């Protein structure tokens, strides 16, 4: 399963 | 973490300095409209995810602030304090920056999905968005001190994110390759400016290019 980055930065 | 907080604060301060400078002097002399338009594009493409992705109330408020303030600044520049003299030296060909960022975002993204491509596009575009402004400084050879503070605070934001990414890599194992790479590119673009800022503005001299 490919890991995606959580976009929690600005 | 402290780097992230300082980075965000610096980002916030940069916008406030810019707004304050424009409102107080009632002039946009020396400020690149093209750079400001690129920031509207950066914020819209990156932060419109707030309509379908919730992170935190802090995150949402910051995104709303950056989108609305950048649009407001462009509005001020075009309608309220229009300055044809400044416009004439604001000649950087931004279509290449936009086109290049778009192509790079199609090649480098975490998933070939609309939202992910937009996110990547915004990172690439942000890394070069200051170029028209720096180009203008180079042409005029000097700048108002407040303008240099604005550019410094804006550059410091992404620079401070670099230790934040290292910190998160160590503490959470989180590595955002795209953000890190574009953040480093952005910091390199600023490095020349940082150097002059440090040597002149902070020592009380006028910002003048050698």
Query: Min CA distance, A4 vs chain B (Å)?
Result: 6
pLDDT of residue A2 exceeding 60: no
pLDDT band at B201 (very low <50, low <70, confident <90, very high): confident
Indicate the pairing of strand B207-208 with strand B142-143: antiparallel
**Span B43-71, average pLDDT:** 96
Mean pLDDT of chain B: 95
Does B195 contact A at CB distance below 8 Å? no
CB atoms within 10 A of CB B13: 17
**Span B19-41, average pLDDT:** 96
Query: With an 8 Å Cβ cutoff, are A7 and B49 in contact?
Result: yes
Q: What pLDDT, on a 0 to 100 scale, did the predictor assign at position A1?
A: 45
**Span B143-162, average pLDDT:** 95
Residue B173 sits at φ, ψ, to 5 deg, of 75, 15
pLDDT of residue A4 exceeding 70: yes
pLDDT of residue B85 exceeding 60: yes
Coil, strand, or helix at residue B207? strand
Does B82 contact A at CB distance below 8 Å? no
């Amino acid at each position: 399963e490919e890991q995606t980055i959580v976009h929690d930065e600005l | 973490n402290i780097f992230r907080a300082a980075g965000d604060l610096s980002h916030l301060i940069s916008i406030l300095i810019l707004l304050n400078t424009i409102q107080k002097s009632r002039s946009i002399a020396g400020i690149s409209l093209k750079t400001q338009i690129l920031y509207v594009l950066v914020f819209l493409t990156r932060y419109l995810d707030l309509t379908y992705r919730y992170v935190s109330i802090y995150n949402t408020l910051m995104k709303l602030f950056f989108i609305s303030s950048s649009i407001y600044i462009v509005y001020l520049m075009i309608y309220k304090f229009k300055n044809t003299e400044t416009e004439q030296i604001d000649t950087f060909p931004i279509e290449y920056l936009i086109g290049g960022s778009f192509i790079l975002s199609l090649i480098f993204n975490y998933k070939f999905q609309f939202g992910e491509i937009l996110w990547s596009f915004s990172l690439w575009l942000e890394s070069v968005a200051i170029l028209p402004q720096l180009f203008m400084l180079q042409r005029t050879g000097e700048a108002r001190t407040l303008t240099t503070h604005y550019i410094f605070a804006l550059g410091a934001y992404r620079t401070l994110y670099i230790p934040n990414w290292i910190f998160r890599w160590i503490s959470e194992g989180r590595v955002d390759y795209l953000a890190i790479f574009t953040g480093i590119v952005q910091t390199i673009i600023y490095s020349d400016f940082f150097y002059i800022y440090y040597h002149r503005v902070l020592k009380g001299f006028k910002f003048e290019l050698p």
